[in-house]
Amino acid sequence: MNMNFSFCSTSSEVSYPSENVMRFSVANRLFSPESVRIDEKWKKKYIHLPCRGTRKVIASSRFVAEQLEDSSIVKKSLLRREPVEKLGIVRTLLIDNYDSYTYNIYQALTTINGVPPVVIRNDEWTWEEAYHYLYEDVAFDNIVISPGPGSPMCPADIGICLRLLRECRDIPILGVCLGHQALGYVHGAHVVHAPEPVHGRLSGIEHDGNILFSDIPSGRNSDFKVVRYHSLIIDEESLPKELVPIAWTIYNDTGSYSEKKFSVPVNNNGSSLGNGSVTSVSENLENGSHWPSSHVDGKQNRHILMGIMHSSFPHYGLQFHPESIATTYGSQLFKNFKDITVDYWSRCKSPSLRRRNINDTANTQVPGATQLLKNLSRTRSTGNGSTYYGSPKKSLFTAKTNGADVFNLVDLSYPKPHAKLLRLKWKKLDGLAHKVGGSRNIFLELFGKSRENDTFWLDTSSSDKARGRFSFMGGKGGSLWKQLTFSLSDQSEITSKHAGHILIEDAQGFTEKRFLEEGFLDFLRKELSSITYDEKDFAGLPFEFCGGYVGCIGYDIKVECGMPINRHKSKAPDACFFFTDNVVAIDHQLDDVYILSLHEEGTTETSFLNDTEKKLITSRDSSARKWKDQTLPAIDSSQRKASFVPDKSREQYINDVESCMKYIKDGESYELCLTTQNRLRIGNTNPLGLYLHLREKNPAPYAAFLNFSHANLSICCSSPERFLQLDRNGMLEAKPIKGTIARGSTPEEDELLKMQLKLSEKNQAENLMIVDLLRNDLGRVCEPGSVHVPNLMDVESYTTVHTMVSTIRGLKKTDISPMECVRAAFPGGSMTGAPKLRSVEILDSLENCSRGLYSGSIGYFSYNGTFDLNIVIRTVVIHEDEATIGAGGAIVALSNPEDEFEEMILKTRAPANAVIEFCCDPRRQ
3-state SS record for 668-702: CCCEEEEEEEEEEECCCCCHHHHHHHHHHHCCCCE
Separation between Cα atoms, residue 916 and residue 902, nearest integer Å: 20
Separation between Cα atoms, residue 379 and residue 365, nearest integer Å: 23
Q: 124, 323, 671, 841: which one is catalytic?
A: 323
Cis upstream peptide for 322 (omega within 30°): no
Please list the helix, strand and coil fractions of the chain in percent, rounded to the nearest 5, in that order: 30, 25, 45
Separation between Cα atoms, residue 615 and residue 613, nearest integer Å: 5
The number of beta carbons lying within 10 Å of the beta carbon of residue 74 is 22
Q: 154, 168, 177, 919: which one is catalytic?
A: 177
**DSSP secondary structure, 722-735, as one string:** EEEEE-TT-EEEEE
Separation between Cα atoms, residue 92 and residue 86, nearest integer Å: 16
Interior angle at CA 551, CA 545 and CA 557, nearest 5: 120
Cis upstream peptide for 736 (omega within 30°): no
The number of beta carbons lying within 10 Å of the beta carbon of residue 58 is 16
Active site residue 321: yes
Quick check: 724 and 734 in contact, CB under 8 A?
A: yes
Separation between Cα atoms, residue 91 and residue 84, nearest integer Å: 9
Quick check: 849 and 886 in contact, CB under 8 A?
A: no
| HSE value, Cβ hemisphere, 13 Å, CA-based, for 140 | 26
Q: CA distances (Å), 814 to each of 110, 212, 476, 544, in order?
A: 17, 35, 34, 18
Q: 321, 498, 802, 879: which one is catalytic?
A: 321
Task: Identify the CA nearest to 732 among candidates 777, 778, 771.
Answer: 778
Quick check: 506 and 472 in contact, CB under 8 A?
A: no
**DSSP secondary structure, 712-779, as one string:** TEEEEEEE--EEEEE-TT-EEEEE-EEEEEEPPSSHHHHHHHHHHHHT-HHHHHHHHHHHHHHHHHHH
Active site residue 717: no
Residue 418 DSSP label:
T
Quick check: 137 and 45 in contact, CB under 8 A?
A: no
Residues recorded for the chain? 925
Q: CA distances (Å), 349 to each of 35, 346, 352, in order?
A: 12, 8, 10
Separation between Cα atoms, residue 87 and residue 114, nearest integer Å: 10
Q: How close are the terminal C-alpha atoms of the chain, in Å?
A: 71
Element holding 531 (H helix, E strand): strand 531-533
Quick check: 801 and 757 in contact, CB under 8 A?
A: no
Residues tagged active-site: 177, 321, 323
